[in-house]
Chain A
Amino acid sequence: MPVYRHTIGTTSYRFNGLTDLLAKASPARSGDQLAGIAAVDAAERVAAQMALAELPLTTFLNETVVPYASDDVTRLIIDTHQPAALAPVAHLTVGDFRNWLLGDTADAAALAALAPGLTPEMAAAVSKLMRIQDLILVGHKCRVVTAFRNTIGLAGRMATRLQPNHPTDDPTGVAASILDGLLYGSGDAVIGINPASDSTAAVITLLRMLDDIIQSYRIPTQSCVLAHVTTQLEAITQGAPIDLVFQSIAGTQAANAGFGVTLDLLGEARDAALSLKRATLGDNVMYFETGQGSALSANAHYGVDQQTLEARAYAVARHFKPLLVNTVVGFIGPEYLYNGKQIIRAGLEDHCCGKLLGLPMGCDVCYTNHAEADQDDMDVLLTLLGAAGCNYIMGIPGSDDIMLNYQTTSFHDALYIRQVLGLRPAPEFEAWLHQLGIFDGNNRAAVTSALPEPFVRTLAQLT
């Protein structure tokens, strides 16, 4: 194993291999401390960052952090790497790569061309040298556009996932939250339910309901029920109307095994979704969720820091051309990301690294009640992600997910960020909002005492 060294004054620091170097260079967070791999003090962390800055980018093609022989994610990364795409920066060190990314050469076209040449470890490494403003700027320069029934990720736009969860999957309860969200202009990324039950019958009931709603109101969006991928495959077999196939993924084969998935299974799921031919504008049929700490939580981390492992999950995601990827950044709890500061930085790292790797990144701007975080922290992260050009955020009634027991962004939060930064919905969905009078010509919420015509009957039926 190569040893990396760095000397500051009279102190010589030693790092045992890439894994140790990356872990020690990672900005402080509780998950790496829990794993026992973090820098012992602030000076060692900067020494590691200085050593990392001097490392040639090509090092990551020759030294892996998780063994090639025993991990299919490493094999995917190495076997699908495109050296020609890396060529413009292949001669650079990690430190010079940061400079290149911040420079004017690195525009949207150059960054899109570079993506297949970057490995997740390269993206993670350079992000560890970045401040928040660098993460925002580089993320902002990347553009990743995907399509199903609408177009997500265009410049100046931000979409929302309408997340109408209910603790017992009660269809009327779910419908009430959907109606609330639509009338607040939410739902262009997807209308996606986390089901309380993973039973195929319950999942199919929800899928049919979502399909009916999207068809009867002619909403240019897509649906998803975030059950296990095998449950969704079974639902497809039984004829259920599935738009997007969802799965949680992680950055090692063992962690994915903990989620009950393999790369083959994900490929099978994508083929099954494509075979339904339900998309009208594109072939992006997958929806993935990730989050720092999942591999450690599954005891499948190989001593690799959680941010590098998160970037490796993006290598899994990009292989399947997803419509949406989001990092559920504060869901996992304070033993991985302790407070608002750690959650905010992690959300921006994930957005930046995902975008560099060519992914349509969204972020579940969220926290649990045992984390040292609150609504102010989420406002900061939301605003910074808006500045960074994040493709989409979550939208739930009043920030309170009554099924998953955590807090994420609300319908109102999306209206706030649209107003402050002038961000518009996906164009097809925007036209629908204007047509129904949900948004006015300035994309401001417009529903007052009178409901849009199609919803008048619905409300009458429900009450």
Chain B
Amino acid sequence: MTNPLVPQQPVVVANPWETLRRFTAARIALGRAGGSLPTAPHLAFQLAHAQARDAVQLPLDQAGVASDLQTRGYQTVRLHSAAPDRATYLQRPDLGRRLAEPSRETLAALAAHAAAPPELAFVIGDGLSARAIHENAVAFLDQIAPRLIAAGWHLGPVSLVAQARVAIGDEIGQVLGAAIVVILIGERPGLSSPDSLGAYLTYGPRIGVTDAQRNCISNIRAAGLSHEAAAHKLAYLLDEARRRKLSGVLLKDEAGTRLPLTAD
């Protein structure tokens, strides 16, 4: 029985350094129940992890995204990588880098009917977060594409690919005969960033291109790099890539971007 005259320690011990939270997004000063994580921060973590997990597992809404693209007047082609399902995709990155045979044939037929090969082809791939695509891809294209068209770029069809890794853009660019490919892809979700989009630019795309030949703009999302700022960076990189006929490490210093180890 507790003695009402003796002050009791609260069950959850708060930390007197909570004010330091304004210096970092790290989960500091969480307090403790005994030595363990109190219920509130424990459940906050579980929620963040659940959101990241759901982002990884969420299927790409190809019909919805394709409809949004077509409404805006983009020629759109729906494709699938050689990874048949999510479990295979996660264990076989090599399959996510290649088109399924029927998709390759679809794309080749499209290329055969084109008047001329495009200068630039956009690819939208789910990568490790379809949520990043659903929340960012079309809005980002709205920022960048009109700007490119006004600057005289000849754009190819937009490829919308399920179970895609970054390098699938190489095969797509090669089949279309595009001078440059840009793939917009869902990045590996962090606990606080389940919706992060990456944009990878490759000059002279073909199967077997290495990551050193790409430029990347990372963390494109509401709480990260804005669509407008990312479009500005990408437009700069595209102009430079077209002018200098290259991409990758030789462009990276001037652009101030670097290749992160995500969703390759």
Q: Tell me the A residues contacting B by CB distance below 8 Å.
A: 30, 33-34, 164-167, 170, 172-177, 179-180, 183-184, 334-335, 338, 368-370, 374-375, 396-400, 402, 405, 407, 410, 412, 415-416, 418-419, 444-445, 447-451, 455, 459, 462-463
CB of B53 within 8 A of CB of A451, answer no
A170 to B190, CA, bound (A): 19
Contact residues in B for A449 (Cβ distance below 8 Å): 14, 16
CB of B36 within 8 A of CB of A407, answer no
CB of B28 within 8 A of CB of A369, answer no
Residue B26 at the chain A interface, CB threshold 8 Å: yes
CB of B27 within 8 A of CB of A400, answer yes
Known: A34-B94, A397-B26, A462-B19. 20 other contacts (CB 8 A): A34-B92, A167-B25, A174-B24, A176-B26, A180-B28, A335-B90, A335-B91, A368-B188, A369-B56, A369-B189, A369-B191, A398-B26, A398-B28, A405-B188, A410-B37, A412-B32, A415-B35, A415-B36, A448-B13, A459-B16
Contact residues in B for A448 (Cβ distance below 8 Å): 9, 13
Residue B106 at the chain A interface, CB threshold 8 Å: no
Cβ contact of A370, chosen from B15, B23, B25, B128, cutoff 8 A = B128
CB of A412 within 8 A of CB of B188, answer no
A338 to B14, CA, bound (A): 37
CB of B35 within 8 A of CB of A416, answer yes
Cβ contact of A402, chosen from B26, B36, B53, B56, cutoff 8 A = B26
Contact residues in A for B204 (Cβ distance below 8 Å): none
The 8 A-B residue pairs with the shortest CB-CB distance, nearest first, are A398-B27, A415-B35, A405-B190, A173-B24, A180-B28, A369-B52, A176-B20, A397-B26
B65 to chain A, nearest CB (A): 21
Contact residues in A for B190 (Cβ distance below 8 Å): 369, 402, 405
Interface size on B, residues (CB 8 A): 43
A446 to chain B, nearest CB (A): 10
B85 to chain A, nearest CB (A): 14
Contact residues in A for B26 (Cβ distance below 8 Å): 164-166, 173, 176-177, 180, 396-398, 400, 402
Per-residue contact bits, chain B 88-106, to A (CB 8 Å; 1 contact, 0 not) = 0011111000000000000
CB of A374 within 8 A of CB of B36, answer no
Chain A to chain B contacts (Cβ below 8 Å), 16 pairs: A167-B25, A176-B20, A177-B24, A179-B28, A180-B29, A370-B90, A375-B49, A398-B45, A402-B190, A405-B191, A410-B37, A412-B36, A445-B35, A447-B13, A448-B13, A451-B16
Residue B39 at the chain A interface, CB threshold 8 Å: no
CB closest chain-B residue, reference A171:
B23
Residue B30 at the chain A interface, CB threshold 8 Å: yes
A450 to B48, CA, bound (A): 31
A30 to B94, CA, bound (A): 13
CB of B23 within 8 A of CB of A400, answer no
